[in-house]
Amino acid sequence: MEKTMKHVIVLLTTLGLLLPASPLLAMNAAQKKEFERIYAMSLEDLADRVEARLEQKYPDEDWEKYRFPSFVYTDDPIEISYKVAVKNPDLLGTANVTDKDRIIPCYCFCNRMGHDNLLYCFWQKGQIGGDFDSHASECNICVRQALLAFLWDDLGASHAEIISGMERKFERLIEMHERGEI
């Protein structure tokens, strides 16, 4: 009996350590369904959804105070993604960090340009509050990643779930990059 009890304790302890690390257990069924719905949205639908959430979360925000450069205003999804970058920069990345356990890699593979993570696509040198980088204004991949990250984070997805969704969404690009095609 005592030996069985020890096995049960070991098993429960092991499960207790493993379950929180499982990205599939962070969201409930309804959240997972919504995660997949967001995953399948067009860029325009993502932008509309993010814009509505930004208006709800920051109803009195004076966006003019950020003094966005003209390249931010070339298309609605671009403008909205830069708004995500000013309101949720830590979601996109951290300066001088490449560990995807802490940041979102950029899947257009702009690391050749010195970009350590998605934050750099919006903020030069990854410096929040510094100058804006024009790269994201020219790249639908960066824009889509910022919008997806915002909505998934807002939904309650863990960082691991966000990364998993990104890797699935950009799987072909990742494979092409690994083969040296991009």
Q: Is the pLDDT of residue 174 over 80?
A: yes
- Residue 77 pLDDT: 99
Most confident of the following: 93-107, 115-129, 159-173 = 159-173
What mean pLDDT comes out for the span 124-141? Answer: 95
Q: Is residue 18 included in any domain, yes or no? A: no
Structural domain boundaries, residue 81: 28-178
Number of structural domains the chain divides into: 1
- Provide the token pair at 177: 């990059």
Q: Is the pTM of this model over 0.75?
A: yes
Q: Is the pLDDT of residue 89 over 60?
A: yes
Q: What are phi and psi of 94, to 5 degrees?
A: -140, 140
Residue 95 CB-density burial (10 A; 0-12 exposed, 13-18 middle, 19+ buried)? middle
Q: Is residue 1 included in any domain, yes or no? A: no
Cβ–Cβ < 8 Å for 121, 142: yes
Q: Is residue 16 included in any domain, yes or no? A: no
Q: Is the pLDDT of residue 23 over 80?
A: no
Q: Is residue 13 included in any domain, yes or no? A: no
